[in-house]
Amino acid sequence: MSPSSFAVAPGKAESELRFDETRRKVGLVVGPLMFLLVLAWPFTSLNPEAHRLAAVMSLVIVFWVTEALPLPVTSLLGPLLAVALRVAPVAEVFRPFSSPTIFLFIGSFILAQALFVHRVNERIAFGVLSWRVVGARPARILIAYGLLAAVLSAWMSNTATAAMLVPIGISLIHFMESAADIPKKYGTALMLVTTYCCSLGGMATPVGTPPNLIALGFLDDQLDVRITFVQWMLFSVPVVLVLLVFVFIYLTWVGRTGVNEIPGAEEIIAERKAELGPWKRGEINSLIAFGTTVFLWVGPGLLALALGTDHPIARSVLDRVPEAVAALSGVVLLFVLPKSKTEPSTITWKQAAQIDWGTILLFGGGLALGGLAASTGLAPVIGDGVLSLAPTTDLVAITFTAAIFTVVVSEAMSNTAATTIAIPIIIPIAHAVGVDPIIPSVAAALSASVAAMLPVSTPPNAIVYASGRVTITDMLKYGVLWTATSVVLVPALVLLIAPMFLG
């Protein structure tokens, strides 16, 4: 998840601003030209509706890549043009905007907003850093900090987690550098572990980051395949744990200090923890609502594992309490539980409405165009075209290709937009060669979160870059090895583990 209200506005250099403006202007010219070119080209393999949709999608993809318009606006422009060009009736085009996954987005975003408003995440952060086992040792602080980022990001916005942890990390770095002769590269490593672990934590649960929900939404909408909350975690958590081990070894080496202990570090963390004071009613209510939602997310899946997914009781519970209903139940609790005698709810609607509606619209628009690509017959034609370029067409090759493609695209744009583009292409390609699209789609969604070489790739990257402690050179230098390793490990682990739970 990436609610915009959580993000720290990245400070951009003048050169980056000029590049963004140039890219936007290029998109405004190239997008319409691509639209007209595709519309005028005699594609004999496409029916008229699919032909017009191909023109619309070419415009949308160019606009997404160049950010000629804000991503959510482009996501509305695509369906609008599809209706205007009579690709499909308006009710069919806009039906995906009422997908259950849309309401799962809304519910989980509001729950994360409540935790952020009441600073529950800060209380957890300082609580973990104050553990005696962490102490004042730089390497242990780095690992604890990374684990904290991963655990929080699994359940709330990875953007919110990064926005909360970066200021804490900066204050720790300043203190440690003043209290001991800590090299600058330790600060770089601590910031990089923030962005890497926030992204990794987001991979662990369906609600951790939008690419996960986007993949689940497309699988449900186009293949009628439902992956439960627990099923996702059964294969994603082992993947995340393996990657966490690698990142801790890697960044502990990068940030080696030669100092065993920092005098006074424990005191400053304890002081920050004490400043939060005793637990307040709003914090407790937020945890109750969040805990209830997690129970409703995980409970039905565990019941299905115990009884079997075809058992009548398990099937009934899964049907009655899908993930979207669980998330919205938690949201209702936030408005039922009073914060105080004078405040009848834990959060106000004004606070709840600060979620990232843009990401929701982006997902809805992508889902709409993906559905139209399937219904008009455009998707199989795209799949056949891409397959003609592929050297092999077995499951392993398709899965690795899907992962690499998504990572490459994610380096040039947000991972949310990249996944929205990639999954509708991957599904028809897999179908065209007789491969089950589930594994490649899951590998692509998880791989979208490991792009780490540029600030634009993920919101945590942008926030860490804005801290001033990580330069573009640092991101590229350390991100190359991290991304290259991850894009091999993720599809390999998905191929190894996921079939056991998605068969």
pTM higher than 0.85, yes or no?
A: no
* Contact status, residue 99 vs residue 217, Cβ threshold 8 Å: yes
Roughly what angle, to the nearest 10 degrees, separates helices 71-84 and 357-376?
Answer: 30
pLDDT tens sequence for the chain (503 residues) = 433 333 344 445 566 677 778 888 999 999 999 999 999 998 888 899 999 999 998 998 888 878 888 878 988 999 999 999 999 999 999 998 888 878 877 888 888 888 888 888 778 777 777 777 777 778 888 898 899 899 988 887 777 778 778 877 887 787 777 766 777 888 889 999 999 999 999 999 998 888 998 899 889 888 888 888 889 999 999 999 999 999 999 999 988 877 777 777 677 777 877 888 888 999 999 999 988 988 888 888 788 777 776 788 877 887 888 888 988 999 999 999 998 888 889 999 999 998 878 878 877 887 788 778 878 888 777 766 666 665 566 899 899 988 988 888 777 666 777 788 888 888 888 887 888 899 999 999 999 989 888 776 677 887 787 777 887 788 888 988 999 999 999 999 999 999 988 86
* Contact status, residue 383 vs residue 428, Cβ threshold 8 Å: yes
Other C-beta atoms within 10 Å of 336: how many?
12
Query: 300-308 contacts: CB < 8 A, separation 24 or more?
Result: 300/228, 300/229, 300/230, 301/228, 301/229, 301/230, 301/231, 302/230, 304/228, 304/230, 305/230
Could you tell me which residues come within 8 angstroms of residue 383 by beta carbon, excluding any fewer than 6 positions away? 425, 427, 428, 429, 430, 431, 432
Give the HSE-up count for residue 126: Cα atoms under 13 Å, Cβ half-sphere. Answer: 22
Other C-beta atoms within 10 Å of 40: how many?
8
Pull the structure tokens for residue 287. 């945890």
User: Can you give the residue ranges of every domain in the chain?
Assistant: 101-352
* Contact status, residue 60 vs residue 80, Cβ threshold 8 Å: no
First to last CA, the chain: 27
What is the DSSP secondary-structure string of 232-259? HHHHHHHHHHHHHHHHHHHHHHHT--S-
| Cα angle value 503/229/370 (rounded, 5°) | 75
* Contact status, residue 150 vs residue 198, Cβ threshold 8 Å: yes
H or E stretch covering 369: helix 357-376
* Contact status, residue 464 vs residue 434, Cβ threshold 8 Å: no
Distance, CA of 259 to chain centre: 35
Pairwise CA distance, residues 171 & 260, whole Å: 19
Check residue 384 and give its pLDDT.
67
Pull the structure tokens for residue 289. 């609502």
CA distances from 7 to 4, 113, 161, 354 (A): 5, 12, 9, 12
| Cα angle value 35/41/47 (rounded, 5°) | 95
* Contact status, residue 50 vs residue 380, Cβ threshold 8 Å: no
* Contact status, residue 24 vs residue 68, Cβ threshold 8 Å: yes
How many residues are recorded in the chain? 503
Pairwise CA distance, residues 464 & 458, whole Å: 10
Check residue 393 and give its pLDDT.
67
Could you tell me which residues come within 8 angstroms of residue 31 by beta carbon, excluding any fewer than 6 positions away? 58, 59, 62, 63, 66, 68
Pairwise CA distance, residues 355 & 339, whole Å: 20
* Contact status, residue 48 vs residue 376, Cβ threshold 8 Å: no
The identity of residue 412, as a single letter, is A
Pairwise CA distance, residues 189 & 197, whole Å: 12
Pairwise CA distance, residues 53 & 317, whole Å: 39
